[in-house]
Amino acid sequence: MTQFADLTNQEFLRNKFDCSRFGIFKGRHNLTDTTTTPSAKDWTKTGIVSPVRDQGQCEAGWAISSVGAVEAAYRKKYGIGISLSEQQLLDCSTNNKGCDGGAAANAFQYNVERKLNYRSFYPYGGTQGKCRYEPLVVGKLIKSYGVGVSIDENKLKQWVGSIGPVTVGFHVTNSFAFYEEGVYSSDECGDTTKLVFNSSFKCGGQDLNHFMLVVGYGIEDGVPYWLIQNSWGTDWGEKGYIKVEMGKNMCGVAAYAAYPILW
């Protein structure tokens, strides 16, 4: 059993769902259809993936996954580890809604326009507060970003295999909370691109409602899967990760994907 076993469905939805919405569409990466895609990839084995975070009671998957993508891209390009502030996005990114949810592309757009502080300077607190952004702490890292809506899984595989970790929207349902190991497949979630939120930007309980970071893909017992880092701490899933069945756009994993392009 997981740490969510004692929550009612309503409590789980309120505490863990991240009412995502489509962001701004910008950026282009110089991949072509002839780019070679590895048959399997696990970026965690290269040392570029940041540790699993725990968003707590704040719907911060959009911020945590987008920061994780930037950190991985930076380590991949420059060979230097960096830890950036998710809390700054919660407090300062006005195109998002803090602990009431947001979108990865909007988070990347914020970093195009402004600098992200180091996590040690602006640590994660799990609640939305006053913006304390300090422009002199770190330089701008992103010059642009790529966004794909309703892409096929082969394109997502090409991005993950060639570019690096990619943040994706996901339709989380109740069975997801109880995931512990193996390849996850669900009849509860759909493969739709539709996003549901009301006028208060609260979750409508359907469709894409969470953001996570795809860090690889492979095959287990003959079943292809996506390796995805969640932001619910290491006690959930396989030490904070989940393997999601590939080839069915399971829970809309390829419905919305975004990645940063560094300077």
Task: Give the strand pairing for 41-42 and 223-229.
Answer: unpaired
Asked if 85 and 13 touch (Cβ cutoff 8 Å), the reply is no
* Of the candidates 218, 231, 259, the residue with the CA atom closest to the CA atom of residue 77: 259
Write down the architecture of domain 16-27+37-262 according to CATH. Alpha-Beta Complex (3.90)
Q: Which two tokens stand for residue 237?
A: 């899933």
Residues near 255 by Cβ (< 8 Å), separated by ≥ 6? 149, 150, 168, 169, 191, 192, 193, 208, 249
Asked if 62 and 104 touch (Cβ cutoff 8 Å), the reply is yes
Tell me the pLDDT of the chain (263 aa) as tens digits.
Answer: 555 555 545 545 544 445 444 443 444 444 545 568 999 999 999 999 999 999 999 999 999 999 999 999 999 999 999 999 999 999 999 989 999 999 999 999 999 999 899 999 999 999 999 999 988 777 678 999 999 988 889 999 999 999 999 999 999 989 999 999 999 999 988 665 444 433 333 333 347 889 999 999 999 999 999 999 999 999 999 999 999 999 999 999 999 999 999 99
Euclidean distance between CA atoms 23 and 243, whole angstroms: 26
Domain layout of the chain by residue ranges? 16-27+37-262
**Alpha carbon separation from 249 to 52, 141, 255 (Å, rounded):** 24, 31, 8
Q: What are phi and psi of 152, to 5 degrees?
A: -80, 165
Euclidean distance between CA atoms 62 and 212, whole angstroms: 7
**pTM of the predicted structure, to 2 decimals:** 0.88
Q: What are phi and psi of 261, to 5 degrees?
A: -120, 115
